């Protein structure tokens, strides 16, 4: 099975872009204010298709998210196949490395692992992954945020992530050979998107018969038009035979 992926990332009204992304062998340039990239791949190797939203301020958020995607790229080249045990160990090592470098900086992570056999969905934090299969649209992740449990809580307080001063983390991952089938579309986004673009609108745009790069840029534009006050990153993937 092969895929075509596209990402669009913008700093929006923020001074710097703390979001990072990985598509197979391609990761973003460090703290680039705006990016549009495309990537084609297949399941002959391990592909991370994911975004990371940095946090911590004072120049550390972008460092944390970039470190996460850089380490994911290393993991994909170190193994021929990933499973839950390996993934938990490797993500925990990234977490510990970030804590040692700066106890305050951290990052979310959301996305999929595309490989032979069992594919995987992974999530830590409040970035999201959605899937469109035929006409069935589904949010594949749950937000690790305080607001999930208390609607009056601030939207930016996360309860799980990589780094961020968290002593214990939970690597939310699920491996399945049914996770991805030909024709599926996946969309990953940071909270600068889903806090300002409804799930209904995301589904509408993902359902359109448009190239994946056009879908990603349209969703970015919608978030900014709707007044997003955060960095905005969208990664769209379409799978084919």
Mean pLDDT in order along the chain per 10 residues (241 residues): 98 95 96 95 97 85 96 97 98 96 91 97 97 97 82 74 92 97 98 97 97 98 97 98 88
Q: Please give the pLDDT value at position 152.
A: 64
Q: Please give the pLDDT value at position 76.
A: 97
pTM: 0.95
Q: Please give the pLDDT value at position 99.
A: 93
Burial of 70 (0-12, 13-18, 19+ CB in 10 A): middle
Alpha-carbon Rg for the chain in angstroms: 16
Cα–Cα distances (Å) from 42 to 49, 79, 133, 215, in that order, read 12, 16, 19, 21
Q: Please give the pLDDT value at position 145.
A: 82
Per-domain residue ranges for the chain? 2-240
Per residue in 43-85, pLDDT tens?
Answer: 999 999 999 999 976 669 999 999 999 999 999 999 999 999 9
Q: Please give the pLDDT value at position 147.
A: 76
CA gap 101, 110 in Å, rounded: 22
Give me the CATH topology for the region 2-240.
Phosphatase 2c; domain 1 (3.60.40)
In the sheet with 2-10, reading across from the earlier edge strand, the strands are: 34-42, 2-10, 232-240, 185-189, 128-133, 136-139
CA 98 to chain centre: 18
Q: Please give the pLDDT value at position 155.
A: 65
């Amino acid at each position: 099975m092969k895929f075509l992926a596209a990402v669009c990332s913008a700093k929006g009204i923020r001074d710097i872009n703390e979001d990072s992304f990985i598509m197979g062998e391609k990761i973003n340039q460090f703290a680039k204010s705006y990016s549009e990239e495309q990537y084609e791949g297949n399941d002959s190797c391990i592909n991370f298709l994911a975004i990371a939203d940095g946090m911590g301020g004072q120049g550390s958020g972008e460092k944390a998210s970039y470190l996460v995607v850089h380490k994911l790229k290393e993991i994909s080249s170190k193994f021929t196949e990933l499973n839950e045990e390996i993934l938990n160990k490797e993500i925990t090592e990234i977490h510990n490395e970030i804590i040692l470098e700066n106890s305050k900086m951290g990052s979310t992570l959301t996305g999929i692992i595309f490989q032979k056999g069992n594919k995987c969905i992974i999530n830590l934090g409040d970035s999201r992954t959605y899937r469109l299969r035929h006409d069935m649209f589904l949010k594949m992740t749950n937000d690790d945020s305080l607001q999930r449990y208390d609607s009056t809580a601030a939207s930016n307080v996360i309860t799980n992530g990589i780094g961020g001063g968290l002593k214990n983390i939970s690597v939310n991952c699920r491996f399945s050979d049914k996770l991805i089938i030909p024709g599926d579309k996946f969309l990953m986004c940071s909270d600068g998107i889903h806090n300002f673009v409804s799930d209904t609108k995301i589904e509408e745009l993902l359902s359109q018969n448009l190239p994946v790069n056009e879908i990603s840029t349209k969703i970015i534009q919608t978030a900014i038009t709707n007044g997003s006050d955060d960095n905005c990153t969208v990664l769209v993937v379409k799978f084919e035979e």
